[in-house]
A and B are shown apart, each in its own frame.
Chain A
Amino acid sequence: DTGVSQNPRHKITKRGQNVTFRCDPISEHNRLYWYRQTLGQGPEFLTYFQNEAQLEKSRLLSDRFSAERPKGSFSTLEIQRTEQGDSAMYLCASTIQADLNTEAFFGQGTRLTVV
């Protein structure tokens, strides 16, 4: 296991289509985060899971966004009816403990372009 893996790395979709991204965290990491990064900005928190439970969602996460983490392993982030404003880099991170002082390991991200 070499780190957090995200797929696909790039996704181009037409406005109105649905897209789904996958994140495979480091094995046995029980906390998983999703962040969104737009050009010129730092990553913004979207949501996080403790094992399979989704414990917090940002107000950035509209009703068109849904995330799951079945069985507390990999996670998916789905965006329905995509809009041009959804174009961004979507980052996943995982950490082994509930302590925020523990290093969070980030994947390389999925870059979404909505045309």
Chain B
Amino acid sequence: AQSVTQLDSHVSVSEGTPVLLRCNYSSSYSPSLFWYVQHPNKGLQLLLKYTSAATLVKGINGFEAEFKKSETSFHLTKPSAHMSDAAEYFCVVSDQAEYGNKLVFGAGTILRVKS
């Protein structure tokens, strides 16, 4: 089974409308979850992370994500998209007991923002 499944390979929204990027993970233990963003010709940048504290996590640039254990989901949202949000987004899981000492990435979701 996939460790991290990003349900949409591409998402297209209009500027000013909400963004939803979906992620489901597979972990039998207590995972930590992250969202990273990758802009063209730039390195991966951490948006936010969940590490067993509050289930609603706020990140940079107005993004937030909610950890739902019952649904094994960690969807990324933003109330209002900006043109600068256009990039590729990766959902990432870490769980030392299950995956060892590494981050496990989803396949990515490319976000397009239309003016």
B-binding residues in A (CB < 8 A): 3-4, 33, 35, 40-45, 48, 55-56, 91, 93, 98, 100-101, 103-109
Contact B43 A56 (CB under 8 A): no
Contact A3 B105 (CB under 8 A): no
Residues of A within 8 A of B32 (CB): 100-101
Closest residue of chain B to A47, judged by CB?
Answer: B102
Label chain A's interface by main secondary structure.
Answer: loop
**Complex CA distance for A33 and B101, rounded to whole angstroms:** 10
Contact B106 A42 (CB under 8 A): yes
**Cβ-neighbour of A4 out of B43, B49, B94, B108 (below 8 A):** B43
**Complex CA distance for A108 and B42, rounded to whole angstroms:** 5
Contact B103 A44 (CB under 8 A): no
Residues of A within 8 A of B46 (CB): 103-104
**Complex CA distance for A100 and B51, rounded to whole angstroms:** 10
Closest 9 CB pairs of A and B: A42-B105, A106-B44, A100-B94, A45-B102, A106-B43, A101-B51, A108-B43, A103-B46, A43-B105
